[in-house]
Structure formats: C-alpha cells, structure tokens
C-alpha cells in the first residue's frame, strides 16, 4: 500500500525475487514532490541490488567533499570527504538525487517487470487482517483481498492506524522551507563546494545540486513555537524566507533570493514515538509508516529503501508470511529506532546556540558516518 519511494522499492525487490506484488496508490498520478534526497552508501547498495545502477550513474550527483560552514561569515567548520574514501571503506559512494528522478526510475522498473503492477486512484480507507489474508476497502466503495499487505503509506499511515491505533504527531518546534533554484541563477563563487550545510543558532541550511547540476536544492530549518498543519506543501514567499535568515552570510541569502516563488514551500516538522512492533498477522509496515523520522540525518528514504531489500530477502528465506515478518523486523527494528533517536539528537546538535564549538562537539566528523550508519549493507546483512 503506497506508491512512494518505500512502496515502489519493495514492489521492485519482491518482483526481482519472483513475487507478483500490486502497488495501491491513492494519487491519480504518480508524482514525487520537487526536492532532493541524499542517499548513503547503504541505500546505494540496495539500489544497485534493485538494478538501478544506471539511475545512480546518470541522474545522481556524487560529491567529492561537503563542507559545514559558519552562518555569519561562511568560514569552514568541518570538511567532509564523501569521495573515493567511502567507496574504499564501504564499497559504495554517497549520492544526491532529485526525488522525482529516483521515483520515476523505480516506477519504470516496476512497470517493466509487470505493466499492471501499479494501480492509481486506490485510496485505502480500511483494512481487516484475517488468518487467511487481508481485506482492503477503498474510498470508491470497492473491496479486495490479498495474501499479505505491506503498509508503505507514509508517516500518516492508515494501515498503521488500523492495525496499531493512533500514533499522535507531536510538533517538534522546527519548521522548514524547501526550494529548487535553477543553477544558472546561482553565483558560482558560493558553491565551494557545491554541496554542504550552514549552521547557526536555531537554524540550519542544507544545499546541494540535483538533476545533473541543473538545479540547486535547499532545505532551510528554523524554530517556531507553534504550528498547526502537518503537510509538505504550504506555499511561502522569498521575503518571508529572507526575513528569517536576515543576519546570515550572503553565501546563503544570495541563492535564497533566486528561488522562483512557485518552487518554495514550507512545513512544520512533526515527530512520532517509534513503534515496538511493525507486523500483526498478514500485515506489516515499511518506511515512514513503520518509523517516521526527522530529516536531520537525511535518512528517511534511506531506511525505506533498506527495509524494502531486507523484507524481500526475508520472504525468500521464509516458509510463511509470518516468519518473513519476524525476520524482517528482527533485521530492521533496532537500526531504524537508532536512526529515529539520532535524527532527533542531530536536530539539537545542528541548531545549538554555540556555532563556534561545532567542530569540537561533532569531533570533526559527519553526523551520519560518524554514527557508524554507513557500516551496514541491506543486501548482505544476516536476517
Ligand atoms: C525536508 C526533508 C528532507 C528529507 N531528506 C531526505 C534525504 O536527504 N534522504 C533521505 O533518505 N530521506 C530524506 N527525507 C525523508 C524521506 O523523504 C521519507 O522518509 C521517505 O520519502 C519515506 O518514503 P515512504 O515511501 O515510506 O513514504 P511516502 O513518501 O510518504 O509515500 C507514501 C505513499 O503512500 C500513499 N498513501 C498514503 N495514504 C494512502 C492510502 N490511504 N491509500 C493509498 N495510498 C496511500 C501516498 O500518496 C504516498 O505516495 C526527507 C524528508 C524531509 C521532510
């Protein structure tokens, strides 16, 4: 259930393992929001395993270096080597990609295996799990039964709600803007290197090129006491964004000034407590439905893609659906919970009031690699 990056990844992983999954997506058209994604070496292992080498090679940007800079004068605080060193250490590199490019490639591969595998306009409103299978009710009044159901329907998952009850969202006190700036509008001297973050008290800006360097993707975080609406796509204005970052270095404000207003959105960040269990009977959860995560380590889609590969492997190695779910959860829950907790910590670390001590606080390491997150391979991880 769900045709996001998690749902399409697990559909493809299952197809490649010889199963015949159906993706049920509520939207009338398949589409991803216009924004970037960072893909760690672990996600690259998974995507290669799913046959997407070419997408990574042709569509993704792989930075040699990233730099953490100071919000006032852009001085480097930490340099992070993301190049050949990662290949040597982890067997893969670090990639940055437009979400729609990855989503399109996954959908095309799923349809190449089975042109009827993705069903659109299929909004699930209720499910019932029995010992024989799972019954799904759709918004149009139709009903279907399946042998098993994977809820990959995002952080506001109806599948999770129906199986485990409500998981109330808590507003975190963070808000964010996202935008895409045509690269020809960005002064080249502020792209040294092109990919990196700027840290300041209560604020964080992450920016990197996507789509063969045609666009500069950015996410800018700030703190607000209150926020009501949960959702990704509230329109904002360049004036509002610049007002929030008014005392920041021109290295940041100069590309913010150039964002086309139709490419600028804002949202409030909501958090949920991790579940202690993801599966019940013939139903399991995957991606944000199972473990919604704050974006400070850029690991939500990474986890969803890793889940997909591990779940398909668990199906291959098990004699029953229930056994597959046990293997899947055993292989994944601890890592997902760790990323959820560390993403919360990373938010506080980036936003800390004392920017000058950033290097000492982080021991000069990248927040993700420094936590050991790259030393994992979903393709070979014992399950
Ligand atoms: C600012 C920001 C930056 C991020 N940056 C990164 C990053 O750099 N790297 C990274 O790895 N992750 C990143 N993430 C996280 C990542 O985007 C998510 O974790 C990931 O997209 C989750 O994928 P998913 O498939 O589980 O869920 P979703 O992408 O939410 O997909 C769920 C799908 O289910 C469908 N659906 C929902 N309800 C129903 C229903 N009732 N019936 C049928 N279909 C339904 C939806 O329409 C949707 O297509 C970021 C997130 C944010 C907010």
**Reported pTM:** 0.96
Q: How many domains does the chain have?
A: 1
- Residues labelled as active-site residues: 208
Mutational pocket test of ligand 1: of 1, 4, 56, the residue with most ligand atoms within 8 Å of the beta carbon: 4
Ligand 1: atom nearest CA of 292 is 19
Which residue's structure tokens are 């989503």? 103
314 Cβ closer than 6 Å to some ligand 1 atom: no
Instruction: Print the domain residue range for 38.
Output: 5-62+86-168+273-348
Task: Let me know: does 215 contact 35? Beta carbons within 8 Å.
Answer: no
Domain-embedded: residue 181: no
CA dihedral 218, 156, 278, 111 (to 10 degrees): -70
Please tell me the distance from the alpha carbon of residue 249 to that of residue 253, in angstroms, as a whole number.
7
Residue 135 lies in a domain: yes
pLDDT at 113 over 90: yes
Residue 7's pLDDT band (cuts 50, 70, 90) = very high
Give per-residue pLDDT as tens, 160-203. Answer: 999 999 888 999 999 999 999 999 999 999 999 999 999 999 99
pLDDT single digits (tens) 308-366: 999 999 999 999 999 999 999 999 999 999 999 999 999 999 999 999 999 998 887 88
Inside any domain, residue 34: yes
Measured in Å, residue 34 CA sits from the centre of ligand 1 at 12
CATH (domain of 296)? 3.50.50.60
Which H or E run contains 307? helix 300-317
Ligand 1 atom at minimum distance from 303 CA: 11
High-pLDDT (> 70) share of the chain, % = 100
- Residue 381 falls within a domain, yes or no? no
Work out which ligand 1 atom sits closest to the CA atom of 5.
Answer: 25
Quick: pLDDT tens for 225-279.
Answer: 888 777 777 889 999 999 999 999 999 999 999 999 999 999 999 999 889 999 9
pLDDT of the residue at 228: 75
* DSSP at 29: S
String of DSSP letters for 346-379: HHHHHH-S-GGGHHHHHTT--TTGGGTTTS--TT
Q: Is residue 379 part of a domain?
A: no
52-89: pLDDT as tens digits: 999 999 999 999 999 999 999 999 999 999 999 999 99
| Residue 273 dihedral angles phi and psi, to the nearest 5° | -70, 140
The predicted model gives 210-214 an average pLDDT of: 91
Q: What DSSP string runs through 143-162?
A: EEEES-EEE---TT-HHHHH
Give the pLDDT of residue 131. Answer: 81
Protein residue with least CA distance to atom 38, ligand 1: 153
Nearest residue to 160 via CA among 310, 287, 257, 58: 287
164 domain-assigned: yes
17: in domain: yes
In a domain? residue 361: no
Out of 300, 305, 374, 378, give the residue to mutate to test ligand 1, the one with the largest number of ligand atoms within 8 Å of its CB: 300
User: What DSSP string runs through 231-244?
Assistant: -S-EE--HHHHHHH
State yes or no: pLDDT of 221 exceeds 80: yes
């Amino acid at each position: 259930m769900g045709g996001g990056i998690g749902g399409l990844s697990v559909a493809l992983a299952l197809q490649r393992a010889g199963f015949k999954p159906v993706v049920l997506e509520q939207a009338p058209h398949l589409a991803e929001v216009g924004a970037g994604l960072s893909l760690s070496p672990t996600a690259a292992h998974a995507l290669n395993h799913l046959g997407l080498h070419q997408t990574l090679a042709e569509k993704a940007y792989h930075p040699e270096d990233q730099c953490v800079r100071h919000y006032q004068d852009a001085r480097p605080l930490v340099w992070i080597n993301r190049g050949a060193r990662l290949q040597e250490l982890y067997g893969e590199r670090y990639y940055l990609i437009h979400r729609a490019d990855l989503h399109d490639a996954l959908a095309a591969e799923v349809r190449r295996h089975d042109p009827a595998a993705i069903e659109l306009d299929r909004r699930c409103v209720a499910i019932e799990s029995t010992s024989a299978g799972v019954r799904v009710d759709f918004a149009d009044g139709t009903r279907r039964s399946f042998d098993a159901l994977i809820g990959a329907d995002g952080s506001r998952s109806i599948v999770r709600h129906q199986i485990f009850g409500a998981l109330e969202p808590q507003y975190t006190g963070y808000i964010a803007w996202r935008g895409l700036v045509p690269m020809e509008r960005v002064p080249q001297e502020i792209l040294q290197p092109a990919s990196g973050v700027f840290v300041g008290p209560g604020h964080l800006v992450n920016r990197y090129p996507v789509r063969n360097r045609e666009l500069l993707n950015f996410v800018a975080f700030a703190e607000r006491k209150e926020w009501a609406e949960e959702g990704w796509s509230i329109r904002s204005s360049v004036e509002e964004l610049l007002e929030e970052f008014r005392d920041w270095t021109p290295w940041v404000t100069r590309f913010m000034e150039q964002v086309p207003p139709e490419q600028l959105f804002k949202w409030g960040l909501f958090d949920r407590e991790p579940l202690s269990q993801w599966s019940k009977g013939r139903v399991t959860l995957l991606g944000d439905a199972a473990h919604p995560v704050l974006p400070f380590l850029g690991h939500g889609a990474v986890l969803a893609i890793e889940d997909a590969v591990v779940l398909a492997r668990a199906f291959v190695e098990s004699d029953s659906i229930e056994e597959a779910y046990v293997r899947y959860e055993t292989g994944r829950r601890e890592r997902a919970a760790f990323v959820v907790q560390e993403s919360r910590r990373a938010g506080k670390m980036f936003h800390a009031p004392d920017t000058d001590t950033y290097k000492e606080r982080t021991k000069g390491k990248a927040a993700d690699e420094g936590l050991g997150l790259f030393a994992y391979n979903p393709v070979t991880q014992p399950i």
